[in-house]
A and B are shown apart, each in its own frame.
Chain A
Amino acid sequence: MKRLWRWLIPLAAVPVLALLAYGFRVSPRDIPSPLVGRPAPAFTLATLEGAPLGLETHRGKVVVVNFWASWCYPACYEEAPVLERNWRDYRERGVVVLGVDIQDKREAAQKFVGDFGLTFPVGQDLKGTVSVDYGVYGVPETFFLDRQGRIRVKHVGAVTDDVFRTTVDRLLAEAAPQ
């Protein structure tokens, strides 16, 4: 009986330690999005120049929706040239990159677009409704939409050439909608 008790206390610590070991290995930033596989929420925003920018007009294309902000350093600064480069490479093949600038000042966003020479359309989410519709909790976050308009991949953090190309190539390879 005494022997059993001596073993029971360290033994009770095992599940607690296992739980901690599991908890510390899981990144609190890796939050599974319930939106993956669901139709992408529609939106219409105004671009920095005031022109309308709608998701609906790009139906049937592979759409890359990128949420960013000019204050998001360094990740947004790392991915801006990547997005621009790939947008130029893929735009002839039915791929659209749409930037959504969130929680930002127009002047700062315009400077960012100018500094990186971004040519893909950028809209400003002034009220935050598009961010909430996409379940955005930080910048940068990028959503890859297939030609049926469903969210297929959510990427948190800066997009790399590798992530962009493998994801977009895979979505392009799928059959076009009827």
Chain B
Amino acid sequence: MSRITVIVVAVLVLLGSAGRAATAQNAKPVNEQTVYDIAAHLRCVVCQSLSVADSPSEMAGQMRAIIRERLAAGESPADIQRYFVDRYGDWILLAPPRRGFNLLVWLLPLVAVVVGLVATAALVWRWTHRSRGVRPPPVAVDAAMSERIRRELERGS
């Protein structure tokens, strides 16, 4: 690499850090709880079923740094969430947004609970009402049988 390129790069790096120092001066103080809340709703992209807040991976650390930087620049949590959704799609959100096909995920458990309650109520009603409603038919006892019962009872005592 030529000496000129080295100088150009050095100047660029210096300019870059000077620019960053300038923005750092009028940067807002960042609440770590806000960073955590945003990160907790984002899926860690290199893990299985972990949020950006909970993952110890390097990628998640970098994503938390991006959240921190954007909050410092004055963006709202909604802006930052949109920034990630724009790049990764709804997939990045740990809770699917409540619209379209995703509604199924939100509604099915409720439907299952309602169906279960109705079914249980119907069964319980049937069990409690059958004993009173449908009586077993009386056993037919003819004269010969009652005579035999009487004899058996007499012999036993």
Contact = CB atoms under 8 A, between A and B. Distances in A.
Interface residues of A, number: 22
Q: Report which residue of B5, B8, B62 has the largest number of chain A beta carbons within 10 angstroms of its beta carbon.
A: B62
Interface string B118-154: 0000000000000000000000000000000000000
Contact of A46 (B9, B45, B46, B65): B9
Contacts of B106: none
B89 interface: yes
A101 B45 CA distance: 17
A129 B66 contact: yes
Contacts of A33: 88-89
Most A CB atoms within 10 A — which of B1, B58, B59, B87?
Answer: B87
A132 B63 contact: yes
B87 A51 contact: no
Contact of A35 (B12, B65, B87): B87
Contact of B88 (A46, A51, A103, A135): A135
A52 B9 contact: yes
B32 interface: no
Nearest to B57: A103
A31 B89 contact: yes
Nearest to A33: B89
A131 B59 contact: yes
B9 A137 contact: no
Overall SS of chain B's interface: helix
B58 A51 contact: no
Contact of B5 (A51, A133, A137): A51
B13 to A, nearest CB: 8
A35 B62 CA distance: 21
Interface in B9-29: 9, 12
Interface in A128-161: 128-129, 131-138
Contact of B89 (A32, A103, A127, A133): A32
A114 interface: no
B59 to A, nearest CB: 6
Nearest to B13: A46
Nearest to A41: B87
Contacts of A132: 62-63, 66, 84, 87
Contacts of B107: none
Contacts of B91: 31
A50 interface: yes
Nearest to B115: A12
B6 interface: yes
Contacts of B85: 34
A49 interface: yes
Interface of B: 1, 5-6, 8-9, 12, 45-46, 58-59, 62-63, 65-66, 84-89, 91
30 contacts: A31-B91, A33-B88, A34-B85, A34-B86, A34-B87, A34-B88, A34-B89, A35-B87, A49-B1, A51-B1, A52-B12, A103-B58, A103-B59, A127-B65, A127-B66, A128-B58, A128-B59, A129-B62, A131-B59, A131-B62, A132-B62, A132-B63, A132-B87, A133-B87, A134-B87, A135-B87, A135-B88, A135-B89, A137-B45, A138-B46
